[in-house]
A and B are shown apart, each in its own frame.
Chain A
Amino acid sequence: METIRIEGLTKQFPSGWPGRPPATVLDGLSLSVRQGEIYGFLGPNGSGKTTTIKVLIGLIRATSGSVELLGKPVGDVPTRRRIGFLPESPYFYDYLTAEEFLMFYGHLAGMDRAGLAGRVSRLLEVVGLVEARTRQLRKFSKGMLQRVGLAQALIHDPELVILDEPMSGLDPIGRKQVRDLILGLRDQGKTVFFSTHIIPDVEMICDRVGVIVKGKLLATGRVDELVNQGHTQSVEIACQGISVERIPAIQAMASRVVQRGSQSLIVLPGPAPLESALAEIRKQGGTLISVTPHKSSLEELFFQSQGQGQGQGSLAPARSAMGA
C-alpha cells in the first residue's frame, strides 16, 4: 500500500506584484512512499522540500495536483491522528515544560490522560530528556528542542512520520541518535518520510530516496540503484611494506598515490586495473591492508543535477531508476 501518493503537485506563490508571474516552487512533482519504508527526500536548499511537506501537512494548499496520505486526501482531519510531524527548525511554546508540552500534543491528538503519562515518560527517555522534563522549553538548546520536537511527533504513536530536516543543527552524536531513532521506527513498522540536504544522511538509513531540484523530482529509487548509476567507480588500495613512489608500474595505473611512513595508499580511477595493481604489489613484496571500492555517490548526482538547471533530457539516473 502507498502511504504517501503525490501526483503532479504544483505550487505557485503569487509574486506580490500585479502583472508579475507567480513563482512556481513545485512543478509537477510526483512521488510515492510505501508502507513501512524510510524515504529520504533529498535536495539542495531552496529546492522545495519544505513546501512539499507543508502541502502534505495541509499548511498550504496545492495549486494543482493530487496528494493522498494513508489513502485519504490531504486536509482530512481525522487522518492526522495517524501522522506525526516535525517542522524545520521548530519553535514551540516556550512557556511549557517538556512534560507539559508532550501532554498538550498528546491531548491534541485525542489521547486521554491515563495513557499519556506513561507514553510521555517513555518518549522523554527515548530522546534523552528525562532530566529536563520539568524545565521550560525557553531554556532548551537547539538540539534539545529538536529532540523534544521529535518526541512530540511520536507521542501519539503515528503510522506515518514526516520530518523536515530532522538532523539539521545537531552535532554528530545527535545526528546518530536521530538516525537510530528513525531506524527504530521502521522496526516498529512505521513509515518515515524525511527531508535533508545532506547526502550521507540518506545513504545510511533510507530504503528509497527522491531527489528534488528546483521543484522537480530528478530521481527516485533505492539508494544502491541511484548510487551505482554506471558512473566510474574509483578503488582505493591500502598496503604496507613497499614504497609506491619507487614503482613506476603502479604510478602509471593510479590516479593518485600517497605514502605515509610504511603505509601506501593507491587510488585507481576504476576497477579495471585492480588485478594487475594487486599483482604488482605482491611482486614487490608488499602486504595488502584493504581494498575499498568508492561508489559514485548521490553526491555526484546531486552536483550534476544542480549544474543542469531545469527540465533537460539528460537526466539519465532519474529515468532508469524511476519506478524501481
Chain B
Amino acid sequence: MWPVVVIALNTFRENLRDKILYNLVFFALLLIGASTLLADLTIMEHHRMITDMGLAAINVVGVVIAIFVGIGLVGKEIERRTVYTIMARPIRRTQFILGKYLGLVMTLGVNMAVMVIVFLATLWLYRAPVHGVLMQAVALIFVEVLLVTAMALFFSTFTTSTLSASFTIGMFVVGHLTMDLKGIAEKSQSETVKAVTNSVYYIFPNLEMLNVKAQAAVGVGVPYAYQATASLYGLLYTAALLVGACIIFQRRDF
C-alpha cells in the first residue's frame, strides 16, 4: 500500500505546481461571479441563474481537468520516460496506476471544494436558497469527474495523448446521449440500427444518470435511493475502467 501513497502524494504535488489548474479553477470562479451580474431578472430567476451557472461551472471545470490532466497522468510518464526509474523501484505497475489516479482525485477534490465554497458563498451573499439537493448534485458531479478521470487514464495506457483526449471526449459526449440512443433504438424499424444503438447504450456509461443539476437549480429533491444507485453505478464503471487500465499497463513494454 505504501508505494501507492508515495505516488499519490507526489502526483498531488505535481498538480499543485501546475499553473493550468489554477487558471481553470479561476475560470470557474469567474463564471460563478459573472452569474451574479445578470440584470433584468426577478429575484427568483436571478437565484436560479446563479445556481444553474454555478453548478455548470463546477461540472465543466471538473470534467476539463479530469480529461486533460487525466490523459497526461500516465501518458506523459510514458512519453517522457519518467516511468523507467519508477518501474525500477519495488513497486507494482498496478500500484503505480492507482497512485497516479488517487493523486489526481485528491487534486480534483481540493479544486471542487474550493469551487463549491465560493459557489455557496455567492448564494449566501445574494440570499439565494441553499437546498440540500445542491450538495447531492455536487456529489454526483464528483462521481462523474471520477469516472471521466478513469476514462482518460484508461485510454492513455495504450494510446497517444491526442487519441486519448479524443476517445475520452467522445465517450463523455456519447455518455450524455445514451438515453437519446435508447429512444432511437426503440423507435427505429431497422434491426441494425437497433442493435448498434442498443450496444452503445449498454457499453457506454450513462452519464445523464449523474446529472441532477436541473432539479437542484429549482430545489426539487432527489430521492436518496436514486442518489445511491447512481453513485454506485458511476463508481462501478470507474472501477472497471481502472481494472482495465491496470491490465493493459501490466502487459505493455516500455
Contact of B85 among A60, A77, A87 (CB under 8 A): A87
Chain B residues contacting A152 (CB-CB under 8 Å) are 85
A86 and B13 alpha carbons, distance in the complex (Å)? 24
Output the least CB separation between B250 and chain A (Å): 11
Contacts A91-B81, A93-B14, A108-B3; A80 near B253 (Cβ below 8 A): no
In contact, B254 and A80 (Cβ under 8 angstroms): no
Output the least CB separation between A292 and chain B (Å): 43
B188 in contact (CB, < 8 A): no
In contact, B82 and A91 (Cβ under 8 angstroms): yes
Chain B residues contacting A79 (CB-CB under 8 Å) are 90
- Among residues 78 to 93 in chain A, which have CB atoms less than 8 Å away from a CB atom of chain B? 78-81, 83-87, 90-93
A86 and B81 alpha carbons, distance in the complex (Å)? 12
Highest count of chain B CB atoms <10 Å: which of A83, A93, A152: A93
Contact of A60 among B10, B82, B90, B254 (CB under 8 A): B254
A110 in contact (CB, < 8 A): yes
A179 in contact (CB, < 8 A): no
- Among residues 75 to 130 in chain B, which have CB atoms less than 8 Å away from a CB atom of chain A? 80-82, 84-92
Contacts A81-B90, A108-B91; A57 near B6 (Cβ below 8 A): no
Contact bitstring A145-169, B, C-beta under 8 A = 1, else 0: 0000100100000000000000000
In contact, A85 and B254 (Cβ under 8 angstroms): no
Total contacting residues, chain B, CB less than 8 A: 23
Chain A residues contacting B92 (CB-CB under 8 Å) are 77
B2 in contact (CB, < 8 A): yes
Question: Size class of A's contact patch?
Answer: 20 to 34
Contact of A92 among B85, B89, B253 (CB under 8 A): B85
In contact, B81 and A58 (Cβ under 8 angstroms): no
A105 in contact (CB, < 8 A): yes
Q: How many A-B pairs with Cβ below 8 Å?
A: 70
In contact, A108 and B89 (Cβ under 8 angstroms): yes
A249 in contact (CB, < 8 A): no
B17 in contact (CB, < 8 A): yes
Chain B residues contacting A83 (CB-CB under 8 Å) are 88
- Among residues 124 to 158 in chain A, which have CB atoms less than 8 Å away from a CB atom of chain B? 149, 152
A88 and B14 alpha carbons, distance in the complex (Å)? 24
In contact, B14 and A59 (Cβ under 8 angstroms): no
In contact, A108 and B6 (Cβ under 8 angstroms): yes
Contacts A77-B92, A91-B82; A58 near B253 (Cβ below 8 A): no
Chain B residues contacting A78 (CB-CB under 8 Å) are 90
In contact, A105 and B85 (Cβ under 8 angstroms): yes
Output the least CB separation between A103 and chain B (Å): 10
A70 in contact (CB, < 8 A): no
Output the least CB separation between A251 and chain B (Å): 57
A78 and B90 alpha carbons, distance in the complex (Å)? 5
Chain A residues contacting B82 (CB-CB under 8 Å) are 91-93
Contacts A59-B253, A60-B253; A104 near B6 (Cβ below 8 A): yes
Q: Which residue of B lies closest to A149 (CB)?
A: B85
A81 and B2 alpha carbons, distance in the complex (Å)? 14
A256 and B87 alpha carbons, distance in the complex (Å)? 55
Contacts A93-B10, A104-B6; A80 near B89 (Cβ below 8 A): yes
Chain A residues contacting B3 (CB-CB under 8 Å) are 108
A78 and B91 alpha carbons, distance in the complex (Å)? 8
Contact of B90 among A54, A80, A87, A90 (CB under 8 A): A80
Chain A residues contacting B14 (CB-CB under 8 Å) are 93, 95
Output the least CB separation between B252 and chain A (Å): 9
A120 and B59 alpha carbons, distance in the complex (Å)? 42
A198 in contact (CB, < 8 A): no
Output the least CB separation between A253 and chain B (Å): 55
Contact of B87 among A59, A93, A95 (CB under 8 A): A59
Q: Which residue of A lies closest to B3 (CB)?
A: A108
A228 and B12 alpha carbons, distance in the complex (Å)? 56
In contact, A57 and B2 (Cβ under 8 angstroms): no
In contact, A107 and B6 (Cβ under 8 angstroms): yes
Contact of A80 among B6, B10, B80, B88 (CB under 8 A): B88
Chain A residues contacting B87 (CB-CB under 8 Å) are 57-59
A105 and B91 alpha carbons, distance in the complex (Å)? 11
Q: Which residue of B lies closest to A158 (CB)?
A: B88
Q: Which residue of B lies closest to A81 (CB)?
A: B90
A34 in contact (CB, < 8 A): no
Highest count of chain A CB atoms <10 Å: which of B2, B6, B17: B6
Q: A104-B6, A107-B6 are in contact. List 11 more A-B contacts (CB 8 A).
A: A59-B87, A77-B90, A80-B91, A81-B89, A85-B84, A85-B85, A91-B82, A96-B10, A105-B85, A109-B90, A149-B85
Would you mind naming 8 contact pairs between A and B with Cβ atoms under 8 Å apart?
Answer: A61-B253, A77-B91, A81-B89, A86-B85, A87-B85, A91-B82, A95-B14, A110-B90
Enumerate chain A interface residues (CB-CB to B < 8 A). 54, 57-61, 77-81, 83-87, 90-93, 95-96, 100, 104-105, 107-110, 149, 152
